[in-house]
Amino acid sequence: MINLTIDGKKYQAEEGQTILEVANRHGIFIPTLCVDEAVSAYGACRLCMVEIERKGRKKLVASCLYEVEEGLAVSTQNERIANIRKTVIELLLARCPQSEGVQAMAKKLGVTCSRFESEKPENLCTLCALCTRVCSEVVGKSAISLVSRGTSREVALPYYEDKTDCIACGSCAYICPTGAIKMEDGNGMRTITWPNCQVSFNLSAVPSAAPNGFPKNRSSIS
């Protein structure tokens, strides 16, 4: 077991665990908008930044990525961390002012408005990459990815239209925390809408055995 302190209290953790995992296990609040137990950590939102001290030296790290070490001292709440989180959530509010998830987190952090101007008020994507990670790590397809850089970075299909690898499972829509990705079934079609592209798939009836031995229909994607 590894011994460490968080906010002045002593804890034990298993090797390989991250600071965030240990904090969550002990009910210590560290905000995050890009973490889900179904996929690996990515460190996209930067709300989970904490201050660590090791051998007399302090630095800021993303708690969802930083693995615990023997003798590590972690601070999850101080003025420096509070200012960083406030700035990050204000930037996210400016990016996605209509996102209920971002609004709720901002309220939890004591932020009611953003100092920064919103260029696309209708935008809901925080670039958390949960959708691309679930597609790659859970579904095993990598049908969508983050493309471009800087302010142009976004989630997209290859060439914005190549749906070859997409199986229309809807995992990206289910895991999306802001509603930026939508999935609708109707009129024999399944439509998945990403922030910058949309694709549709035919739903067809496939016979399968019912519990009583009689055939029944279920949907498949084509």
Q: What is the pLDDT of residues 39-96, one digit of tens each?
A: 999 999 999 999 999 888 999 999 999 999 999 999 999 999 999 999 999 999 999 9
DSSP state of 160: G
Burial of 129 (0-12, 13-18, 19+ CB in 10 A): buried
CATH class entry, domain 130-221: alpha beta
User: Using CA atoms, how far apart are residues 29 and 7, in angstroms rounded to an integer?
Assistant: 11
DSSP 123-137: -------HHHHIIII
Report residue 49 as tokens.
Answer: 């930044």
The distance from CA 90 to its chain's CA centroid, rounded to whole angstroms, is: 18
CATH 3.30.70 boundaries in the chain: 130-221
What pLDDT is stored for residue 131 in this prediction?
96
pLDDT band at 211 (very low <50, low <70, confident <90, very high): low
Element at 72 (helix H, strand E): strand 72-75
User: Using CA atoms, how far apart are residues 122 and 221, in angstroms rounded to an integer?
Assistant: 30
What pLDDT is stored for residue 208 in this prediction?
55
pLDDT tens readout for residues 156-204: 888 888 888 999 999 999 999 999 999 999 999 999 999 888 889 998 7
Centre a 10 Å sphere on the Cβ of residue 85 and count the other Cβ atoms it contains: 22
Beta carbons of 27 and 58 less than 8 angstroms apart: no
Task: Output the pTM of the full model.
Answer: 0.85
Cα distances from 3 to residues 6, 18, 24, 70, 148, in angstroms, run 10, 13, 16, 5, 41
Centre a 10 Å sphere on the Cβ of residue 146 and count the other Cβ atoms it contains: 14
Centre a 10 Å sphere on the Cβ of residue 133 and count the other Cβ atoms it contains: 21
Pick the CATH number of 2-78 from 3.40.50.300, 3.90.220.20, 3.10.20.740, 3.90.25.10: 3.10.20.740
CATH 3.10.20.740 boundaries in the chain: 2-78
Q: Indicate the pairing of strand 197-209 with strand 189-194.
A: antiparallel
pLDDT band at 214 (very low <50, low <70, confident <90, very high): very low
